[in-house]
Amino acid sequence: MWSGGETARRMQRRGRGAGGRDGPGERTIVTLEDVARAAGVHYSTVSRALDPDTARQVNVVTRKRVAAFAKRMGYQKDMVASGLKRGRTHTVAVVVGDLGNPNIAPVLRGIANRLEPAGLMSLICESQDDPTRLERILNHLLSRRVDAVIMTGARLGDGPKLRRIRRQGIPVVLAVQNVPGIRLPAYTNDDDLGGELAAQHLLSLGHRRVAQLRGPADIYSCLQRAQGFSRTIAAAGAMEVEVRSTAPTGSPEEGHRMMRQLLDSKRALPTGIFAHHDLMAFGAITAAEERGLVCPRDVSMIGYHDLPHVERVIPPLTSIHQSREELGRLAAEALVKMLSSADGPPPSRKLPPTLVVRQSTGPPRDFR
């Protein structure tokens, strides 16, 4: 079927490929009129025959013939043009901050699985966590007429942008990330509870001196995680050492950098550390190992997200697990409701995360 050299050679043969024929403006789009001409009927008959709402007005024989011609000729209804007339394009834009975040694919799947049976197509845009790019994307989406927007990576500063879309009459649903005070339906994990679970786990092992490696300060889920963690630690009368900086991205490099800050500080090293992302926890463990420290003997590490292969790393990482596909499904479900009924937006939901204990956490050294 395949052969390396041959494929390349075949590809090199200059044929009438797409590039050869398709200069701008040479597009050969099959129109309603083309189908009408071929079928020998008036174009309004074609229009009626192909629209499920009006197909019954055309007699069966003609209807079938028109449908067969349309299919054979590759006719596609111009959804954008008909969207201009009817105000629907059956398209939902899903805006993602970072497609490289291993959490996001299951959310997108949950969204698509629910939108598809409702006859809606999801198209994905990546802002790469850049506010200017997000602005461009949202402007583009507005002018390209989508029926609705699901925003999965909202940051605290995105409120005005999202409200502007909402004001233009386009339903917006938030997934994964909420923005406080925005009053849009939001489907998120209970990140405050996630922080609390991490703190309780470390406390139960006997840790009295802990620290957090925090995610971005403008991401609500990270603020919530930090808040739940700090509150629980303070309530137990334990000590939290503050790492001033936050990580702009959940990467091993950032975890490494922040752990180094803790290791370089003159203060005693905390024995229990809560990283806001599994990948940051990996980097932090590496930084500790570089100083001759062993996890969990010298320092316990707990991550967040329970990424698919954290059980294969050394030591297998204790982490907080949250639902992903279900979150996407709920967001899409809310959107479908908003598009089909005039009732107010459905209520927001928070799903509870769970703690997954592996081998990166243990009792503190002086506790043994």
Judged by CB under 8 A, does residue 68 bind another protein? no
Q: Which of 37, 183, 297, 309 binds another protein (CB under 8 A)?
A: 309
**CA–CA distance, 35 with 38 (Å, rounded to integer):** 5
Q: What does the per-residue mask of binding to another protein show for 140-179, with x meaning CB under 8 A?
A: x-xxxx------------------x--xx-----------
Q: Which of 35, 66, 67, 137 binds another protein (CB under 8 A)?
A: 137
What's the closest the beta carbon of residue 321 comes to another protein, in angstroms?
Answer: 17
Burial class, 47, CB count within 10 angstroms (exposed 0-12 / middle 13-18 / buried 19+): middle
Strand partners, 302: 274, 318
**CA–CA distance, 141 with 144 (Å, rounded to integer):** 5
Judged by CB under 8 A, does residue 76 bind another protein? yes
Judged by phi (left if over 0) then psi (alpha if -120 to 50, else beta), residue 150 lies in beta
Using CB under 8 A as the binding rule, the residues of this chain from 88 to 127 that contact another protein are: 89-91, 93, 98-100, 102, 104-106, 108-109, 112, 121-126
The residue range among 44-52, 139-147, 198-206, 216-224 that interacts with another protein, by the rule CB under 8 A, is 139-147
What's the closest the beta carbon of residue 19 comes to another protein, in angstroms?
Answer: 4
Judged by CB under 8 A, does residue 28 bind another protein? yes
Judged by CB under 8 A, does residue 24 bind another protein? yes
Strand partners, 188: 350
C-alpha angle with apex 7: 5 to 12, nearest 5 degrees?
Answer: 95
Do the Cβ atoms of 55 and 49 come closer than 8 Å?
A: yes
Judged by CB under 8 A, does residue 20 bind another protein? yes
Do the Cβ atoms of 211 and 244 come closer than 8 Å?
A: no
What's the closest the beta carbon of residue 5 comes to another protein, in angstroms?
Answer: 8
Judged by CB under 8 A, does residue 80 bind another protein? yes
Q: Three-state SS for 278?
A: helix
What's the closest the beta carbon of residue 284 comes to another protein, in angstroms?
Answer: 11
The residue range among 150-158, 225-233, 237-245, 282-290 that interacts with another protein, by the rule CB under 8 A, is 282-290
Q: Which of 10, 42, 56, 183 binds another protein (CB under 8 A)?
A: 10
Smallest CA-to-CA distance from 290 within 260, 250, 253, 254 is with 260
Instruction: Read off the tokens for 65.
Output: 């013939």
